[in-house]
Structure 1
């Protein structure tokens, strides 16, 4: 039996939190003499319904098991999208419900795909809320609530397991609430530092804060139509973005260990080493055609190459160049980057390097097992033996990911869109990246899709952000059967 009262109480706390987080955006509207009513009304609705739900079930048993954990995570993203899109609809800056769902889901899942055709004419308060949705979704709203739920008398271990991105067991503290708090300290600290450096580099304070929020969230929403290409004349800003995108794509537990001086934890991480090596090699591969086919010069070409590689691998989606102009080879490489993802335990989407590393190492060892069938050949990742259960989980994930990509591409293509656009749209939404290929390249947007296609792509964003199983398990009959 699923404890619905516990779920209602937690949904109430989440909605209250969303309402509180809308208030800074309302303050921005007021500071810039804009109409703050749409955001204030949205905040009031979220706060009111949140309090009603929370206090209606405050005296109930809030026992949360694994089933409730997965259901809460799935419902929380649906609730957040439903209430998070209210400022767009009430302001009438986005009039279509499907458009509002797409834009809000893209923000909360840190995908960065957009239906907006002219970002710079949008009210600053709404753009700030748009950036906030990515920051909220970056490390995961559930991790935040795990940190504060003990204050509300609500346990959170099952929520953390369901929400925590990637197959990683690293913990910075044995108590789950302390782990969540320390990860958020790192997240907030790096966001503030990135914002200050952007400001020092030449951005306005408003733009710096917005880009600081979306950089650390690996979201990619910008306040400029040209994205980060707007700052081509500011090398410091673009290199700052590269550094913080790379950090945001790193396992946050490794960043924490680095901050407290435990550098050996970083050095023994196979995932981090493969992540850094991939960035270096791919930057070189892209640098060669860019410098040879353009008149950018060596430094500018290098900056274009490393920026785009880091942006795509970390699934941030900031843009400084149209990579499709350098030929089919570069376009294909950038398309394949949509399937990498960065590190598990980071704010990045995608498959994650640890899964790729596990798959490749296990495949290589399988040849050895064929030659020596009686030998015990363990799979070692990060200095630890990987169990058969984890290997099986990763193999299943990769298979389901491939099936979802193929099936989603088929559905979108049957809706009337060309082959490249269908593949690109599904790959970038499932991987939570943003730019892709076809008609959704780095200088395009998603406004031309039909309402049905936008809803389909929004669902794929949610699937990718919650790493497939959390959502798909809800469609299995045994999930709903009573124990």
Structure 2
């Protein structure tokens, strides 16, 4: 374990977080909230001080490998979430340190679950920081820090593999830093475009920035208690529906468009299945909801498509209280929580790519049982699947189920009904946001016990980091030299 390099990167990350808090201070000055500035200055001072201590000297041995990558990613997300929650705690906006940590973890992991009962009571600077955590976490904390790291091009890809969601991470170009610039260029450009379109639709500029960051990170923090339902605009609903789906697509595909290979965009097998799942879910829910919405097709389609996009992309915005929908529609949304977005996107969930691999390998096993002597090859994205990839997918699913079951058992101690507990674990480990019953789209997580909230924080981090980086912290062999 290259401890010096681990501390060096974490130190740089802490200084980066302090710099990012400056934006919240600027918002406070713009809106005349000078009294809130101190609550950002205090954690900034701590972050800068500790950051310089940890990174005051560049290590002589700079390279690190998979183990160091996992540890750096897991520790960075924990540290950033803790300090990211301090402004809420120090200001008294969220009096409990555990609740502040929960809110920050939910923000950085782009989950969007909240313990706040009155979101609109927060000052604009706090609302901005709360949603800005979505935007930072959407692309990845360490992906951002890679731009300020020392030259470790040979092995810094391990950081991207440990942090970026999906079955694999491909370098778009031969170097990591150009890759990061490409990713963030696409990410920033799409965010700015969304802000412009929301402003055109009549949404105030500040609201547009907040909701655009929540959409880009597929997080779902809004600045209104009623979420997107507050605006009651078909135009805004359609724009956000489209962009939620766009941010749930593998960003590598957008790069193909920029290098004039746009014809290859829809060759992605995962993308085609993602679009198909979305289309079928919208159709089924629309048919189921027609009687509830007076057989008004366009209105029903508006609400069903928005919620399908919101849940499968793990954004978590709401334009209606879908907890009042018929059971059939609610169960489809629950199923979509587990499907998730595409690999290499800002969305969460198990990912469409993994489900495709599971379905294809299961079908192949059935063929072998019928025709044992037939030699078959399972392909994904027109490439043969290696045994190691298949094994990693099934291992991920097995560990996922174990964590889910254990978390559900702990939450049962709070005496909530099964659907509340089940959807709480599902929405947190899949980084979705709202659940059903006691944690529906108009409810929150404030009444859960401290133990349950910490378990759900673990779920959010495990889900966002694809489980294994966070588990590595608990493995004794991780820390051996």
Describe the shift of the 1:169–1:375 C-alpha distance in structure 2 as closer, same or farther (beyond 3 A). Answer: farther
- Structure-1 residue corresponding to 2:115: 115
- Structure-1 residue corresponding to 2:82: 82
User: Is the Cα–Cα contact under 8 Å of residues 63 and 152 in structure 2 kept in the other structure?
Assistant: no
Higher mean displacement: 303-312 or 85-94 = 85-94
User: Is the Cα–Cα contact under 8 Å of residues 146 and 177 in structure 1 kept in the other structure?
Assistant: yes
Rounded to whole Å, the distance in 2 between the matches of 1:449 and 1:365 is: 44
User: Is the Cα–Cα contact under 8 Å of residues 144 and 181 in structure 1 kept in the other structure?
Assistant: no
- Structure-2 residue corresponding to 1:219: 219
Describe the shift of the 1:264–1:358 C-alpha distance in structure 2 as closer, same or farther (beyond 3 A). Answer: farther
Query: What are the Cα deviations for residues 418-468 of structure 1, in whole angstroms up to 9, with x where unaligned?
Result: 211110100100000001112111221111111111111111101101111
Please report how far the alpha carbon of residue 326 of structure 1 lies from its aligned counterpart in structure 2 after TM superposition: 2.1
Q: Determine helix, strand or coil for the equivalent of 1:113.
A: coil
Please report how far the alpha carbon of residue 144 of structure 1 lies from its aligned counterpart in structure 2 after TM superposition: 1.3
Rounded to whole Å, the distance in 1 between the matches of 2:476 and 2:40 is: 40
User: Is the Cα–Cα contact under 8 Å of residues 227 and 318 in structure 1 kept in the other structure?
Assistant: yes
Q: Determine helix, strand or coil for the equivalent of 1:52.
A: helix
Cα RMSD between the aligned structures? 1.6
Q: Determine helix, strand or coil for the equivalent of 1:85.
A: helix
User: Is the Cα–Cα contact under 8 Å of residues 149 and 155 in structure 1 kept in the other structure?
Assistant: no
Q: TM-score, normalised by structure 2?
A: 0.96
- Structure-1 residue corresponding to 2:206: 206
User: Is the Cα–Cα contact under 8 Å of residues 25 and 125 in structure 2 kept in the other structure?
Assistant: yes
- Structure-2 residue corresponding to 1:281: 280
Rounded to whole Å, the distance in 1 between the matches of 2:60 and 2:169 is: 32
Query: What are the Cα deviations for residues 171-204 of structure 1, in whole angstroms up to 9, with x where unaligned?
Result: 3212122212211111111111111111111111
| Structural mapping, 1:7-406, within 5 Å | 7-34=6-33, 35=35, 36-55=37-56, 57-150=57-150, 156-232=156-232, 234-295=233-294, 297-406=296-405
Query: What are the Cα deviations for residues 342-365 of structure 1, in whole angstroms up to 9, with x where unaligned?
Result: 100000111000000010011111
Structure 2, unmatched stretches of 5+, are none
Describe the shift of the 1:181–1:387 C-alpha distance in structure 2 as closer, same or farther (beyond 3 A). Answer: same
Asked if 1:465 is matched to 2:464, the reply is yes
User: Is the Cα–Cα contact under 8 Å of residues 28 and 125 in structure 1 kept in the other structure?
Assistant: yes
Q: Determine helix, strand or coil for the equivalent of 1:436.
A: coil
Describe the shift of the 1:451–1:78 C-alpha distance in structure 2 as closer, same or farther (beyond 3 A). Answer: same
Structure 1, unmatched stretches of 5+, are none
Rounded to whole Å, the distance in 2 between the matches of 1:473 and 1:376 is: 37
Rounded to whole Å, the distance in 2 between the matches of 1:183 and 1:74 is: 21
Describe the shift of the 1:296–1:453 C-alpha distance in structure 2 as closer, same or farther (beyond 3 A). Answer: farther
Rounded to whole Å, the distance in 2 between the matches of 1:255 and 1:342 is: 15
Higher mean displacement: 100-109 or 169-178 = 169-178
User: Is the Cα–Cα contact under 8 Å of residues 211 and 221 in structure 1 kept in the other structure?
Assistant: yes
- Structure-1 residue corresponding to 2:452: 453
Higher mean displacement: 15-24 or 250-259 = 250-259
Please report how far the alpha carbon of residue 152 of structure 1 lies from its aligned counterpart in structure 2 after TM superposition: 9.3
Rounded to whole Å, the distance in 2 between the matches of 1:215 and 1:324 is: 21
Please report how far the alpha carbon of residue 375 of structure 1 lies from its aligned counterpart in structure 2 after TM superposition: 2.3
Rounded to whole Å, the distance in 2 between the matches of 1:290 and 1:369 is: 42
Describe the shift of the 1:205–1:417 C-alpha distance in structure 2 as closer, same or farther (beyond 3 A). Answer: same
Rounded to whole Å, the distance in 1 between the matches of 2:14 and 2:278 is: 39
Describe the shift of the 1:153–1:205 C-alpha distance in structure 2 as closer, same or farther (beyond 3 A). Answer: same
Please report how far the alpha carbon of residue 59 of structure 1 lies from its aligned counterpart in structure 2 after TM superposition: 4.6
User: Is the Cα–Cα contact under 8 Å of residues 288 and 328 in structure 2 kept in the other structure?
Assistant: no
Query: What are the Cα deviations for residues 309-364 of structure 1, in whole angstroms up to 9, with x where unaligned?
Result: 01000000000112221222222111111101110000011100000001001111
- Structure-2 residue corresponding to 1:421: 420
Query: What are the Cα deviations for residues 199-257 of structure 1, in whole angstroms up to 9, with x where unaligned?
Result: 1111111111111111010000001110011122x222111111110011000001221
Q: Determine helix, strand or coil for the equivalent of 2:338.
A: coil
Rounded to whole Å, the distance in 1 between the matches of 2:148 and 2:343 is: 23
User: Is the Cα–Cα contact under 8 Å of residues 146 and 155 in structure 1 kept in the other structure?
Assistant: no
Please report how far the alpha carbon of residue 151 of structure 1 lies from its aligned counterpart in structure 2 after TM superposition: 6.4
Asked if 1:477 is matched to 2:476, the reply is yes
Rounded to whole Å, the distance in 1 between the matches of 2:86 and 2:153 is: 29
User: Is the Cα–Cα contact under 8 Å of residues 317 and 435 in structure 1 kept in the other structure?
Assistant: yes
Higher mean displacement: 446-455 or 252-261 = 252-261
User: Is the Cα–Cα contact under 8 Å of residues 293 and 299 in structure 2 kept in the other structure?
Assistant: no
Rounded to whole Å, the distance in 2 between the matches of 1:385 and 1:372 is: 20
Please report how far the alpha carbon of residue 377 of structure 1 lies from its aligned counterpart in structure 2 after TM superposition: 0.8
Please report how far the alpha carbon of residue 478 of structure 1 lies from its aligned counterpart in structure 2 after TM superposition: 3.2
Q: TM-score, normalised by structure 1?
A: 0.96
Describe the shift of the 1:175–1:444 C-alpha distance in structure 2 as closer, same or farther (beyond 3 A). Answer: same
- Structure-2 residue corresponding to 1:6: 5
